[in-house]
Amino acid sequence: MKEALDLKGNDLNYLTTYWNIGYILGQIPSQLVLTKIRPSIWLPALELLWSCLVMALAAARNVQTIFALRFFIGLFEASAYPGIITLLGSWYTPAELGKRAAIFQASSSAANMFSGYLQAALYSGMNGRAGLAAWQWLFIFDGILGVPISLYGFWAIPDSPGDSRNHHWLSEDERERAAQRMRDVGRAPAKKNLTLTLRTVLDVFRSWPVWLFSTVFIAHVLGLRVYSYFNVWLKSTGQYTTEQVNVIPSAGYGLQIICTLMYAWTSDYIQSRWPVIVFACVPGIIGTVILSIWPEQNTGARG
């Protein structure tokens, strides 16, 4: 892709930057829309849009087009993570939520693993087919996977226990039981037609947990997102084939899945989050310290 589109300098970094800008701008508005539009409509509709845009990446002929598409993909995809976590929180109690959220989070790591193997397979089997490069086929395949899943979401997403309009596969007794479970833990369904006022917005920004959690999460991401560039580093060494560059990082994602599930089950069992969070951060601190003192000229060696 870099060679085909003649990407230079920081262009690869800008691909991530434009996606992040769209993602940041889209999250809060999407959550506000969810108070007015049912999740079973809003979430799959945006997934359908970004799946189509992902396929459109295969037709890009210059980096400017990629930048624009990445921005809008991030904008539409911003609905997914907070929207699904909100949906999970409306159906599961605090004692159950950690495990369910972890399964959802682990699916992201599983997707990254699958993507690596898919890229390797496409490079060896589809590169040049129909005049398309392997990276173009990857975007097409990703879109083909996303479109039917988004269409299925219109039927399968159950909205909230207090809204029965899209509970096709739940009986009336199951709906009431789900709503009662949430009332029992003090999570009654939100009132409809709530009005967003300036005071509500100010109360959010005056809340110290908002600033604390945001700061901690930013620091966490800055330190740990370096794994996203592992395949770039592998390629820069010139010691690995294209297939190996795509497949080797999958080992890290596999470990991530195991640890994510283990931490979640543990935190639900002990009914406390912070000890698990602190414990999980220790390996991350060690890893980032190692990377920060890693000699720049040391590209590693193969056994």
For residue 193, the SS3 value is: coil
Instruction: For residue 150, give the nearest of 235, 39, 243, 242 by alpha carbon.
Output: 39
Which of 61, 82, 196, 226 lies closest to 132 in space, CA to CA?
A: 61
Q: Specify the pTM.
A: 0.81
Per-residue pLDDT of 239-290, as tens digits, reads: 888 788 888 888 888 888 999 999 999 998 898 888 998 898 888 888 878 8
CA pair distance 225, 54, nearest whole angstrom? 22
> Which residues, 6 or more positions from 139, have their beta carbon under 8 angstroms from its beta carbon?
54, 55, 56, 57, 58
* Vertex 16 angle, CA 279 and 76, to 5°: 95
pLDDT tens digits, one per residue of 146-200? 999 999 999 888 888 877 566 677 888 888 888 888 888 887 665 555 677 788 8
Six token digits for residue 163: 């809204």
Tokens for 280? Answer: 């999980």
pLDDT in tens, 21-34: 999 999 999 998 98
Calpha distance 22→67 (Å, rounded): 11
